[in-house]
Amino acid sequence: MCRVSRELSNFIRRDVLTGRAKFGISDDGKELYQVAMARAIARGDWRADYYRGHTLLLALGLIKVEDVLAQLYADAAADGFSRGRQMVGHHSTPTIDETGAWVNQLDSLNVSSGTSPTAGQMARGLGLALASKLYRTDSSIPSEGFSRDGDEIVWSEIGDASTSEGVFWETMNAAGVMNVPLVVTVVDDGYGISVPKELQTTKGSISEAMAGLKVDGTGSGIDIYKVKGWDYPALMDLYPKVAERARETHRAALVHVSELTQPNGHSTSGSHERYKSKERLTWEKEWDCLEQFRHWLIATEVADAGQLAELDKAAKKAVKESRKNAWDTFVGRLSAERDALLKLLPTNGQSNAAYERCREDLMGLEVPLLSEVVDACRRLRLAIGADNLPQPITQWLRDAQRRLSEQVGSDLYSDTEQSPLRVPTVPAVIDEDAKPVPGYQVLQDFFRAKLKQYPNMFAFGEDVGQIGDVNQGFAGLQEEFGKHRVFDTGIREWTILGQAMGMAMRGMRPIAEIQYLDYIFYAMSVLADDIATLRWRSAGTQSAPAIIRTRGHRLEGIWHSGSYLASLVSTCRGMHICVPRNMVQATGMYNTLLQGDDPALVVEVLNGYRLREQQPTNYADFTVPLGVPECLREGTDLTILTYGACVRVCLEAAELLEEQGIEAEVIDVQTLLPFDLEQRIVNQHLKNTNRLLIVDEDAPGGTSAFLSQQILEVHGGYQYLDAPVKTLTGAAHRPGYADEGDYASKPQVMDVVEAAIDLALF
């Protein structure tokens, strides 16, 4: 298997350098420890992968050589990891089926979809490992198909240089604090691309740098091991012991595999001869793990040189045949698509220069990618005019563009029966005589009901456990449901969200709290790169329906008044973003999300927890539909569109406007992603008022620009306007402290009134 993997790595490099593929990264020089690791992995274990690792999957029999090459070639039809959406080395195994139902995660190794950002897998791995601990802690958690008493280990690998990333340290510290079965292998070949580890790591050794975390006599800490990557007997002895201890104790482990090499360099983006000395290159050739393995096999008389030569020859032949099969299958499928279009082009005098040029362009494509064939057809349409393009060609082009769009763009959100967009709407039932209660009590009552209803629901974050969060939404619930259901974390936003993601991938329903929206930017990588993209990058074969709870908008000062949502709207496609105006609406959104299978971010109004609201009698069941704005006040002169904390501001402004003879309707967006799925704002409101004022607390050109683009461009609202769209936003600078800072930084009632008057008089 080692030789097969090495030959595969060699062909990956060759195919990139000869133009068959765009980019290659592989396992050369790093095969041996993976073969040893394969002996220690048990069914049900998980892998939080980085962008290497085909050796392990080949050794476990989970994949074939053709599978790796299909991803290398971006063969969407044959790439089972990502449907051509990720570069080679980013592996995954299905955790949900085509209906969105969970598959049995105990049948084999589960591979969480890999990502490229260095160390990005660490936070996800922490969450996957925490799930094992929770399954072992509480037998009442539904575990069928997910866990065998929490015995599952999470295996994570990371390049030595990537341990310089903050999330690596954050994860290892958290793993030691929480005692979770996370086994992290540090793959140390001495370099981070061209930068040597002496410039990356204190003492030039990650195991020495982390010595302070090593387990002590009290059992606190993590296990730390060091082994040479070319020492086969030591590797084979070590990994089963590491696995046995991690399964038994749930103590995290670091395995520092050193003295590895990279015969083909870091990747196909450059040659390592540019930055390594001749002495280093000579050393790498001698201490290549497969070269040393060969010496060991001969010295121990497991095999002789002749037998090994035959194995080398057989491996090269097998990989070469697999490569031919993968390439021929890929090109054959593409050629069939091109040929279908060629047959539609007119001949026998019905052709002209444009058709012949198109035919020549198509025949000149050595690898007729669907995108290139589609582009040639579009150029033909431009040349002869859309009205003159024969209907069969028009239909082919329409179908091909749809297929290409689905091939690349499907599965951004769930389209299963479990989609939150398909959750039935249950209106709130409010007793008019009900005494209003503070917003935090609304949340307490709701979360208590949900923790009773869902034994697999957990809530955690900074100050969430003992004191029930800084705004009391979970007050008293840790005592009622236990420290493993409602618990505190350290100040570590990145891994808080990683915990949520990993738990959600293993059948749990986590609600992870980021204390203030301003702090979510410490976790943007896991949020935007990992959680939001998971379903899409795995082509609908994995999901993580985590709910991220935070609070923003108005309070005091720069970092407690966050309303900067534009960056989230643009980078977190694949998640729902809910912006409830009060806590009752928030609970309705949580109800919807808990019944769905997509991840979401809920931004509660920071200054609304002590405001009193009438609590629905069906607070545990009522739902707020996503993507459906709500008209809170009718009007005929202009439409004011807003969300979150600005709703109360705009409603008060509308009352003052009425005194001035201006009837303004106020619409609460409710969710930014999705936005107004039925286009109600245009069809039911803008058609009548013909004027639009958008009010929000984001910076100028932020979320208001997104809302404007959706209404004018996507929904066609421009045709009903009698005046330009006006936006009223927060200031360009961060919000200032205290009353005057808020007044000058955020839209106030009189700002809305004056902007509305200007618009009404236009």
Whose tokens are 């990650």? That residue is 206
Asked if residue 601 lies in contact with residue 550, where contact means CB atoms within 8 angstroms, the answer is yes
CA 415/CA 681 separation, integer angstroms: 24
Which of the residues 31, 170, 493, 604 is marked catalytic? 493
Alpha carbons 515 and 492: distance in angstroms, whole number: 11
For residue 536, give the amino acid letter. Answer: W
Query: Could you write out the DSSP letters of every residue in 94-153?
Result: -SB-TTSPBP-TTSS-EEEPP-SSTTTHHHHHHHHHHHHHHHHH-TTS--TTT-STT---
Closest CA to 619 of 648, 586, 571: 586
Classify 601 as helix, strand or coil. Answer: strand
* 3-state DSSP assignment of residue 702: coil
Distance, in Å, from the CA atom of 227 to the CA atom of 62, rounded to the nearest integer, reads 26
Q: Which residues fall within 8 angstroms of residue 281, CB to CB, at 6 or more apart?
A: 272, 273
**Phi and psi (nearest 5°) for 317?**
-65, -45
**Measured distance CA(319)–CA(8) in Å, rounded:** 6
Amino acid in position 553? H
**H or E element in which residue 154 lies:** strand 154-159
Query: Which DSSP symbol is given to 214?
Result: B
In DSSP terms, 759 is beta-bridged to none
Per residue, the 3-state secondary structure of 455-479, as one string, reads CCEEEEECCCCCCCCCCCCCCCHHH
Residue 652 to residues 124, 574, 664, 691, 748, Cα–Cα distance (Å): 44, 35, 11, 19, 10
State yes or no: cis peptide before 700, omega within 30 of 0. no
In which residue are the tokens 């070269």 written? 291
Closest of 10, 2, 121, 108 to residue 58, by C-alpha: 2
Catalytic pick from 90, 91, 266, 560?
Answer: 560
Q: Where does residue 173 rank: exposed (0-12), middle (13-18), buried (19+ CB within 10 A)?
A: middle
Q: What whole-number distance in Å separates Cα of residue 191 and Cα of residue 201?
A: 11
| Contact of 81 with 147, CB cutoff 8 Å | no
- Is-catalytic flag, 553? no
- Exposed, middle or buried by CB within 10 Å (0-12, 13-18, 19+), for 553? buried
Instruction: Return d(Cα 423, Cα 621) in angstroms, integer.
Output: 11
Cα separation of 188 and 566, whole Å?
Answer: 39
Structure tokens at 384: 């002869």
Which residue from 79, 87, 35, 82 is spatially nearest to 61, judged by alpha carbons?
35
Q: Reply yes or no on whether 266 is catalytic.
A: no
- Give 549's strand partners: 513, 602
Q: Report the C-alpha gap between 361 and 364 in whole angstroms.
A: 5
Tokens 């286009």 identify what position? 679
Helix (H, G, I), strand (E, B) or coil at 513: strand
Q: Counting Cβ atoms within 10 Å, is residue 127 exposed (0-12), middle (13-18) or buried (19+)?
A: buried
3-state secondary structure 567-578: HHHHHCECEEEE
Known catalytic residues?
493, 560
